[in-house]
């Protein structure tokens, strides 16, 4: 059955309809319309799946998508143009250019933590580049999955965009098919499954994975502002953000003060009892709640640790200096627990991060420009912020993606357009004149060239 969906899509793609810029822009405008007209229902679905506060849902899902679409609409004509490159004497006379062209049919498999954004932002890039798409939303956010399955066919070209809901069995079936590109967002274990399946058809793959994103806080940083920014970025969506600070390495002179400051910020942001705060989200399901809870077995807590399983509530939790071999420090936390490790200084922090998997994001809080420069030069990670967390996401033209175990390929803005385009090289020559230097028989003087 899925094979039929793909065959029909590939046939439709061959007709060339999706290649026209008019069609692409029309699809993007239709997405804008969907987001505007159904904002209330979408917010409701996000609330149902993750108890997302309206402000967070608007900021990180709906408005994020509006900004992304607006940017693509503005830039698309320019991105899609053939890009002239200079030619040399060897091909004279000629012209050469790079012609972006869509791949065909792209399978988008998305995750549950930003269930709307992680499904539709890839779709924006895929459609901008002139492809068809089969979208498989995460089954762990069923309300958002259902609303996308209902609304997308009402707004988008049904021949070009199909939503298939489901979990592991459905995704496994889809992965057997010869898509022209696969875009997967989720954990690295499944990332390997996707890559293996893609290898069967030599399908190009974009993998948006996760990992442990570190933060180093130097003694030169303004502690209050640092704590404020980290607290927001960590506990947004109850810590279920792929680029959330996973752990902090704090200069030993300020580690204790930083912990106190973060605790004070938690009180300021979510009050005495965060369970009652309308601004604090919930864990996606019992399995993930238990997973995060199990990381705390045998660990001393600095604050937090309260759980109400029935409400999927897990309070903001701070841990000081957990053992390095604890699961808290060896696995991605992806929840509302933040370990703070005291460290001798900047160089030790750099070595600590370098010894581990290349993270999706790496954050530095420091007032010293030499440290800022070294952090950028010495730490390899998908993205970085200096003196902030997460906020690179607000810059449409910054590519988003991981490196090494945190992913491969990038999207957002032009990077997304290019990720889902083949950049085809074209050399164009007239049929005259010809300088017959390259043709055999190769005279002696040619052999010496």
C-beta nearest to ligand NAD: residue: 210
Contact 138, 145 (CB under 8 A): yes
Give me the residues that bind ligand NAD (CB under 6 A), please. Answer: 109-113, 118, 136, 138-140, 167-168, 171-172, 185-187, 190, 193, 208-210, 242, 332, 334, 360, 402, 407
How far apart are the C-alpha atoms of 7 and 1, rounded to whole Å?
10
Q: 76 with 417: CB under 8 angstroms?
A: yes
- 186 vs 233 by CB, closer to ligand NAD: 186
Residue number, 76 or 209, with CB nearest to ligand NAD: 209
For residues 189 and 115, the answer to whether their CB atoms sit within 8 Å is no
Nearer to ligand NAD by Cβ, of 153 and 167: the residue is 167
CB 228 within 8 A of CB 220: no
Q: Which is nearer to ligand NAD, 210 or 245 (CB)?
A: 210
Q: Residue 302 or 392: which CB sits closer to ligand NAD? A: 392
* Shortest Cβ 54–ligand NAD spacing (Å): 21
155-190 as b/e, with b when 16 or more CB fall inside 10 Å? bbbeebbbbbeeeeeebeebbebebbbbbbbbebeb
Phi, psi of 22 (to 5 degrees): -60, -45
- Residue 208 bears catalytic tag: yes
What is the Cα gyration radius of the chain?
A: 25
How far apart are CB 244 and ligand NAD at their closest, in Å? 8
Strands annotated E in 231-290: 247-251
How far apart are CB 140 and ligand NAD at their closest, in Å? 5
List 208, 261, 332, 418, catalytic entry? 208
- CB 199, min distance to ligand NAD, A: 15
Strands 313-314 and 307-308: antiparallel
The catalytic position among 72, 132, 242, 385 is 242
242 catalytic per annotation: yes
Cβ of residue 285: shortest distance to ligand NAD, in angstroms? 10
Instruction: Tokens for 19, please give them.
Output: 């290649």
What is the set of active-site residues? 208, 242
């Amino acid at each position: 059955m899925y094979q039929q969906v793909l065959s029909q899509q590939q046939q439709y793609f061959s007709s060339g309809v999706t290649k026209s810029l008019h069609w692409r822009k029309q699809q993007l405008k239709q997405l804008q319309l969907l987001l505007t007209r159904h904002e209330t229902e979408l917010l409701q679905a996000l609330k149902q799946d993750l108890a997302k506060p309206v402000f967070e849902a608007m900021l990180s899902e709906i408005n994020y998508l509006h900004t992304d679409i607006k940017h693509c609409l503005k830039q698309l004509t320019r991105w899609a143009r053939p890009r002239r490159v200079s030619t040399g004497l060897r091909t004279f006379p000629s012209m050469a250019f790079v012609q972006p062209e869509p791949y065909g049919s792209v399978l988008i498999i998305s995750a549950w933590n930003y269930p709307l954004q992680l499904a539709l932002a890839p779709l924006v890039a895929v459609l901008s580049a002139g492809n068809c798409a089969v979208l498989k939303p995460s089954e762990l956010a069923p309300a958002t999955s259902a609303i996308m399955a209902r609304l997308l066919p009402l707004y988008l070209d049904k021949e070009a965009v199909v939503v298939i809901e489901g979990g592991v069995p459905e995704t496994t079936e889809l992965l057997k098919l010869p898509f022209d590109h696969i875009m997967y967002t989720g954990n690295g274990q499944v990332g390997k499954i996707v890559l293996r399946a893609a290898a069967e058809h030599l399908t190009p793959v974009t993998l948006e994975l996760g990992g442990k994103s570190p933060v180093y806080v130097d003694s030169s940083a303004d502690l209050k502002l640092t704590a404020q920014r980290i607290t927001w970025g960590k506990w947004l969506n109850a810590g279920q953000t792929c680029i959330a600070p996973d752990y902090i390495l704090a200069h030993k002179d300020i580690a204790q003060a930083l912990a106190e400051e973060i605790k004070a910020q938690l009180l300021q942001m979510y009050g005495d009892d965060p369970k009652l705060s309308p601004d604090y989200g919930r864990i996606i399901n019992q399995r993930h709640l238990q997973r995060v809870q199990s990381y705390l077995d045998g660990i001393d807590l600095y604050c937090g640790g309260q759980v109400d399983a029935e409400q999927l509530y897990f309070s903001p939790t701070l841990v000081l200096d957990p053992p390095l071999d604890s699961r808290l420090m060896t696995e991605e936390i992806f929840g509302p627990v933040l370990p703070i490790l005291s460290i001798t200084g900047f160089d030790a922090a750099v070595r600590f991060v370098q010894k581990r998997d290349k993270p999706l994001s790496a954050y530095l809080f420091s007032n010293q420009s030499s440290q800022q420069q070294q952090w950028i030069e010495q730490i390899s990670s998908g993205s970085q912020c200096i003196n902030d967390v997460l906020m690179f996401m607000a810059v449409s033209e910054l590519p988003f993606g991981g490196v090494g175990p945190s992913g491969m390929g990038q999207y957002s803005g032009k990077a997304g357009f290019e990720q889902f385009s083949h950049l085809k090289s074209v050399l164009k020559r007239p049929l005259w004149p010809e300088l017959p230097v390259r043709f055999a028989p190769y005279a002696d003087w040619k052999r010496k060239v």
